[in-house]
Amino acid sequence: MAKVQQSHLFKSFFYVLLRKNLLKIDLTMNNNQISIVFKSFFVILVLVFSGSLNAQQKYIIDNSNHFWDKVQFGGGLGVGIGSGYTDISVMPSAIYNVNEIVAVGVGLQFGYLSSKSYYNSFVYGGSLVGLVNPIPEIQLSAELEQVRVNTDYNATNYRPSYSDNYWNTALYLGAGYRTGSVTIGARYDVLYNPDKSLYGSDFMPFVRVYF
């Protein structure tokens, strides 16, 4: 009877040890599996990130080529000569055609105005341009212009010579008829200030050309 009990105790002890070892083996396998899973997941992330980066670089290159296909250069040139009056302006600009209807762009402006025996004025600045073509023949425009005006007034019998330098802001809303690369129309300065504006009127015609 005592031998049977000893044998039973020995078997029970061996069974407990075996279960512990099996548990350790199982845990070790689970840890290895978890490690493999994490390593695999990390490799997948690296591959996905690398592929995404290459795709983004390719998209940027393709998009860059596509971007320049939608860019047009042009602007306007103005020359006005009268009795004792000269007005010369050069206004280069570039626009990006977002689609067939909308275009946005930037521009520069350089000008010289002179009135004999009265003043000489130099103008330079920039502008933001927005164009909308609801139909191919009609073009609506909005131009926000900021220019520096440096004017030297000649002396008269009533006052000495002096200089007047300032910044002038204008917001032109316009409409024109478009045919090919040329648009002919008129625009109105909603911020017109007769004391600072470059022009004698808030309403003026324009010719706009883009290639």
Residue-wise pLDDT tens digits, 30-77? 444 445 444 444 444 444 344 444 444 444 444 555 889 999 999 887
Calculate the CA 10 to chain-centre distance.
82
Q: Which of 14, 49, 69 marks a domain boundary?
A: 69
Kindly tell me if the per-residue pLDDT of 134 is higher than 80. Answer: yes
Q: Provide the token pair at 46.
A: 């690296």
Residues 179 and 88 placed together within one structural domain of the fold: yes
Residues 60 and 80 placed together within one structural domain of the fold: no
Q: Which of 24, 46, 69 marks a domain boundary?
A: 69
Q: Which of 22, 48, 69 marks a domain boundary?
A: 69
What pLDDT score does 7 carry? 45
Residues 126 and 166 placed together within one structural domain of the fold: yes
Residues 134 and 121 placed together within one structural domain of the fold: yes
Evaluate whether 137 touches 159 at the Cβ level (below 8 Å).
Answer: no
List the beta strands (DSSP E) in the chain.
71-82, 85-97, 102-115, 119-135, 138-153, 162-179, 182-189, 203-210
Kindly tell me if the per-residue pLDDT of 147 is higher than 80. Answer: yes
Residues 60 and 134 placed together within one structural domain of the fold: no
Kindly tell me if the per-residue pLDDT of 100 is higher than 60. Answer: yes
Kindly tell me if the per-residue pLDDT of 104 is higher than 80. Answer: yes
Kindly tell me if the per-residue pLDDT of 14 is higher than 70. Answer: no
Q: Provide the token pair at 78.
A: 């103005």
Residues 121 and 20 placed together within one structural domain of the fold: no
Residues 38 and 100 placed together within one structural domain of the fold: no
Q: Describe the chain by its helix, strand, coil percentages, rounded to 5.
A: 30, 50, 20
Residues 119 and 173 placed together within one structural domain of the fold: yes
Band of residue 159 on the pLDDT scale cut at 50, 70, 90: confident
Q: Give the global pTM.
A: 0.63
Number of residues written out for the chain: 211
* Average pLDDT rounded to a whole number, residues 186-190: 94
Using the 8-state DSSP alphabet, how is residue 188 labeled?
E
Domain that holds residue 57: 1-69
Calculate the CA 145 to chain-centre distance.
18
Count of structural domains, the chain: 2
Residues 83 and 119 placed together within one structural domain of the fold: yes
Domain with 154 in it: what CATH number? 2.40.160.20
d(CA 13, CA 1): 18
Residues 192 and 160 placed together within one structural domain of the fold: yes
Residues 45 and 116 placed together within one structural domain of the fold: no
Residues 64 and 79 placed together within one structural domain of the fold: no
* Average pLDDT rounded to a whole number, residues 172-200: 90
